[in-house]
Amino acid sequence: MGERISIKTPDGDFSAYVARPAAATAPAVVVIQEIFGVNQVMRDITDGLAAQGYLAICPDLFWRIEPDIDITDQSEAEWKKAFELFNAFDTDLGVKDLQATITAIRADAGSTGKVGSVGFCLGGKLAFLTATRTDVDAAVSYYGVGIENLVGEAEKLTRPLLMHIAEEDAFVPKEAQAIIVKALKDHPQVEIHTYPGRDHAFARVGGEHYHAGDATTAGERTLAFFKRTVG
C-alpha cells in the first residue's frame, strides 16, 4: 500500500504517490503518468516496481491544471477530459516538476541516490525529456507521443535511455517513428525496441490495445535496464 507525499516547488506544492520496497534503502524510479492522471493503472505500476525492489514515486503532473486527477480510459467522457488535460498541459513546467520529484526522492531516507524514470504516452515523451533536461540517471519511454518533434535534444542526452515503440501506434504514426528511430538508433546511450502489430498503450492493463505477451517482454526489458543503470 502506497503513501502520499508533498513535493515543494517555487510555484506551489503538489502530491505524489510513493510505494516503498522491503529493503531499507533502494534505487528510486519516477513513474510518469499517462493522460489519465495518477490513476489505478499508474499506482499499480508504482506498486509493482516497489515489489521488484525499487523506491517508486508517481507525481501528480496535472496539479497546475487540476490536482488529483484520477480517471480511466473506459468512457467517452473520461477520454474527452483526458485530452482536455493533455492540451492544457505545459511540457516545460512538467519537466521542472519532474526534476523536483527526482530531487525529492533522491534525498529520501530510503533512497540510495540513484534515480530512474519510466513514462507512458504523455509520460513517454516526458521520460525522454528527463534524459535530456534533468539529472535522472536513466530513463525508459513507452510509446511517447511527440518525441519526433524533440529529437534535436538528443545532443544533450548523456544518460541511458530505453525506448519501447509500438509499430502500429495510432498516436505516433510510422512517419514519426521513422524520424525517432533515424535520429536515435546510433546514439550510444539509446536502446530502442519496436513491437510489430502493437498499437498505442499495449502495456496498459485493461486497455483496448493491451497485449500481455509484449507488455511482459517490455516490462522484463525495463527491469533489466534499470538493474544495469540504477541498481
**The whole model's pTM is what?**
0.97
Domain holding 213: CATH number? 3.40.50.1820
- Residue range 23-27: average pLDDT? 97
pLDDT in tens, 114-172: 999 999 999 999 999 999 999 999 999 999 999 999 999 999 999 999 999 999 999 99
pLDDT in tens, 192-214: 999 999 999 999 999 999 999 99
Asked whether the predicted pLDDT for residue 106 surpasses 90, the reply is yes
pLDDT value at residue 20: 98
Output the CA–CA distances (angstroms, integers) from residue 27 to 39, 79, 115, 157, 213, in the order listed: 23, 34, 6, 21, 27
CB 207 within 8 A of CB 128: no
108 annotated active-site: no
How many structural domains are present in the chain? Answer: 1
CB 30 within 8 A of CB 101: yes
Residues in the chain: 231
The angle subtended at Cα 56 by Cα 55 and Cα 60, nearest 5°, is: 145
Domain that includes residue 128, residue range: 3-229
Asked whether the predicted pLDDT for residue 186 surpasses 80, the reply is yes
Q: Over the Cα atoms of the chain, what is R_g?
A: 16
- Residue range 60-77: average pLDDT? 95
Q: Which three cell numbers stand for residue 211?
A: 497485449
pLDDT value at residue 1: 67
CB 196 within 8 A of CB 214: no
> Which of 164, 199, 200, 214 is flagged as catalytic?
200
- Residue range 32-36: average pLDDT? 97
Can you tell me which residue has the cell 490495445?
Answer: 209
> Which of 47, 169, 199, 214 is flagged as catalytic?
169
- Residue range 37-57: average pLDDT? 97
Query: Binning pLDDT at 50, 70 and 90, where does residue 65 land?
Result: very high
Mean pLDDT of the chain: 96
CB 163 within 8 A of CB 182: no
169 annotated active-site: yes
CB 170 within 8 A of CB 143: no
